[in-house]
Amino acid sequence: MEKFVGIPSGISDDIGEDEHYILPDQFVEFFNEFWEEKWLADVTSFAVGWSRTSAGIVENITLTPKIWIDRNGHRLQVSRYGLHDSELEEMIQKRREALDK
């Protein structure tokens, strides 16, 4: 995607564990530039899966949900990672217990 957008994405190389690290500010700027490229961001483009996940990452970084509409008026279905309330409560409880030790 960097080739098409012309700026660094802020995404690290894969370290072999199917994980990538990102520089949040740089990634948000990159995705906004990517979205402005219009044809890349079309819901019917080859990059739609990447777009859905990346828009979710941007929303998680900025804590601001957004409706992403492509140049043809189609809404991007954002894939955003989130915890269910029960998982969140369990995580909070574990953190409290760890802090009490």
Q: What is the pLDDT of residues 37-96, one digit of tens each?
A: 877 778 888 888 889 999 999 988 888 888 889 888 999 998 877 666 677 677 767 877
Predicted pLDDT of residue 26: 95
Cβ-Cβ contacts under 8 Å for 75 (sequence gap 6 or more): 43, 67, 68, 69
| Structural tokens at position 75 | 């809404």
Q: Is 53 helix (H, G, I), strand (E, B) or coil?
A: helix
Q: In terms of pLDDT, which residue wins out, 1 or 84?
A: 1
Q: In terms of pLDDT, which residue wins out, 21 or 25?
A: 25
pTM: 0.71
